[in-house]
Structure 1
Amino acid sequence: MLSEPHTTSPVRIGFLLMPNFSLIAFSSAIEPLRMANWVSGQTHYETLLVSHDGLAVPSSAGVQTLVDYSLEQIPTLDALFVCGASPIARTGNEEVIAWLRRPRSGRMAMGGIGTGSYLLACAGLLNDCRATIHWWDLDSLREEFPQTRMTNNLFELDNKRYTCSGGTAAMDMMLSLIGQFHGMELAAAISEQFVHERIRSSEDPQRVPLRTRLGISQPKLVEAVQLIEANIEEPLSTDDLAHHVGISRRHLERLFKRHLNTMPSKYYLEIRLEKARQLLRRSDKPILQVGLDCGFASASYFSTAYRNHYGLTPREERKQLAEQEPELPANSGLSRSVLMPGG
């Protein structure tokens, strides 16, 4: 929970915008604070925007956003939220991470919106804390930061560390904080103003339930797809899938054909390739390791399957991504990133 403000002072919250920050996540975080003031008729919250150097910052949609301060000019805050790049940027953040690592008063809470959680983890600010990030990046961060208890929840509030998965989850996190700080009646009124059906809890899952995603309710098929998604590195055979869900191979194949218009083996391959593409775009793992992590025993098989599905090889995918990186001034301390899904 945020520190109690002085009776006449609003809670002062800063937003550190990283290049290619997610516009929807940032808006979902800052708008509830503005609405809290409007609905209550009181200035409960004061917000200010920050960038590395005090200059305008481009969002992932290309919208340039003016800021109030540079990192070195930030006044005293009750909380600072880092709005990370979309997709995650693993290089070019050294100066920002060094600033986050500086010793400071324990009064200021720290938060990560979307991939902002990654920068907090890099700075050691999420050690021994529950934290979350967009589901696209969860697996890689669990590997990289074992000292952080990464969850797949919508958001996490652990002492003075607030993280969310990005997107509209930022609104639920802020509404929850407003509810703790100024009462759930105010939070509910804000939610109504935004035509937000309900305030989701921190335990809500990030991803749409599998039944909804697939648009099916056949329990054996849902169970089979769950097994597929849980066994990417060591794929199961169609016979194994059928055995685990308790039906014959032919029955399983009929279910896939009827409901998903494909065969189990083809669907499985597409899921593995989708995971591989995610890792190629969102991690710096070697291409061979990406293939192994996605169940491809040889580099040639991985490359051929990838090219047949996406029209380019894994190596060409990485090269294409590198060519799309925006040009940034040398030694700017800004992140290099490309437009991609994510929080």
Structure 2
Amino acid sequence: METAEGEKTREFAFLLIERFSMIAFASAIEPLRVANRMARKPLYSWRVVTEDGVSATCSNGTRVMADCGFVDVDRDAMIIVCSGVGVNRTTTRGVLTWLRKQARRGVSIGAVCTGAHVLAKAGLLDGVRCTIHWENRESFREEFPDIELSNRFFERDGARWTSSGGAASADMMMQMINEEQGRELAAMVVDQLALAPLRSPMDEQRLSVPARMGVRHPKLTTVIHRMEENIEEPISPVVLAAEVGMSTRQLERLFRRYLNRSPKRYYMELRLQRARNLLLQTDMSVINVALASGFTSPSHFSKCYRAHFDRTPYRERGVSASTATTT
């Protein structure tokens, strides 16, 4: 499609997967609308695609109407996959087939929030660096260990764009506008949307341990970082203390002072949170979830999980599946 001045209008097709993230979708589409307004011409056009061609319901329950179902898009267009919670259960064979067909036709494809999981499942991220929301990183790595995953807000690798979701979707789209239309228009769009200054592809989505937890002690920060990196094969407090030149008792006092819990308790909470993420976001068996979270005994895992979350791992998964079918 061309503007009145004969310029090419860039088309986007937003594929909405059931239970998609509303904020990720809105943050991706609004910069295009504002760019058109600021430029006073239709630089961009878009349509909403769903599998049934009727509508899709996002995770907050809002229903968004579709413009069309699975039709071929222009080769110069770009597809943006928008998904959200329960992506394993909401990604259908029809979605994967359509995306593979469009990719074979040479269409550029991107994704926001958990959309990278959909692209990976379709085989469209092989040999590609990508990103996904930090909460889904562990489950993504378990299911797609050979795909290079970064911790950045958004990534571009060839014809694949991926965003970690939320407001980061706007960062990704602003980067596109900046590259295609220039920094002046991009800055105008940022101002109009009252966004923070443009974040670069090099910025990472999760804060450092000190910023995230308000902990400034360098040795405590190092130990927490080591714990986060070694969930599947936990390191004993004795070894952790020795690595930072402390006694086990000194490390214990440090954790009590800053985090009001023992190193062992804190490490256990990290492992159980990872287990919960894997239970909710993957189809891994409970036994494999236990192993991936550093538990060699399923019964011990179940006991610890119930003590912390007040439900068994099996009950957690059952509740999650029930919620997915009713919201």
How does the TM-score come out when normalised to structure 1?
0.89
Of 232-241 and 166-175, more deviation after overlay is shown by: 232-241
Distance 1:278 1:315, change over 3 A: same
Offset, 1:88 = 2.1
Q: Unmatched 5+ residue regions in structure 1? A: 1-5, 328-337, 339-343
- How many residue pairs match? The answer is 323
Give secondary structure in 2 for the equivalent of 1:89: helix
Residue 21 of structure 1 is matched in structure 2 by 20
Residue in 2 aligned with 1:320? Answer: 319
Structure 2 CA distance for aligned equivalents of residues 277 and 147 of structure 1: 23
Assess if the C-alpha contact under 8 Å between 1:87 and 1:115 holds in 2. Answer: no
Ranked by relative contact order (alpha carbons within 8 Å, sequence separation 6 or more), the top structure is 1
Deviations 1:223-282 (A, max 9, x none): 111111111111112111111111222221111111111111111111111111111111
Shift of 1:75: 6.0
Q: Measure how far apart 1:149 and its partner are.
A: 2.3
| CA deviation string 1:151-201 (max 9, x = no partner) | 222111111111111111111100011000001121122112222221111
Does the 8 Å contact 2:55/2:63 carry over to 1?
yes
- Contact kept in structure 1, 2:88 and 2:282, CA below 8 Å: no
- Residue 150 of structure 1: CA displacement? 2.1
- Aligned Cα root-mean-square deviation (Å): 1.9
User: 1:105/1:292 Cα in 2 relative to 1: closer, same or farther (>3 Å)?
Assistant: closer
In the superposition, relative to structure 1, how do residues 258 and 103 fare at CA in structure 2: closer, same or farther (>3 Å)?
A: closer
Deviates more, 1:10-19 or 1:80-89: 80-89
> CA offset at residue 138 of structure 1?
2.3
SS in 2 for 1:180: helix
Q: Deviations over 1:299-330 (max 9, x none)?
A: 11111111111111111111111222226xxx
**Equivalences for 1:16-165 in 2 at 5 Å?**
16-72=15-71, 78-90=77-89, 92-102=91-101, 107-165=106-164
Structure 2 gap segments, 5+ residues each: none
Partner of 1:194: 193
Aligned-partner residue type, residue 42 of structure 2: T
Deviation, 1:127, is: 1.7
Q: Secondary structure at the match of 2:296?
A: coil
Aligned partners of 2:75 and 2:106 also within 8 Å: no
TM-score (norm 2): 0.93
CA separation in 2, counterparts of 1:235 and 1:32? 44
Change (3 A) 1:91 1:22: closer
Greater Cα shift, 288-297 or 71-80: 71-80
Report if the CA contact (8 A) 2:87-2:281 is conserved.
yes
Deviates more, 1:149-158 or 1:46-55: 149-158
For residues 155 and 168 of structure 2, what CA distance do their matches in structure 1 show?
10
Q: Distance in 2 between the 1:104 and 1:225 partners?
A: 42
The runs of at least 4 aligned residues of structure 1 exceeding 4 Å deviation read 73-77, 103-107
Equivalent residues of 2:72, 2:102 under 8 A apart: no
Contact 2:87/2:118 (8 A) holds in 1: no
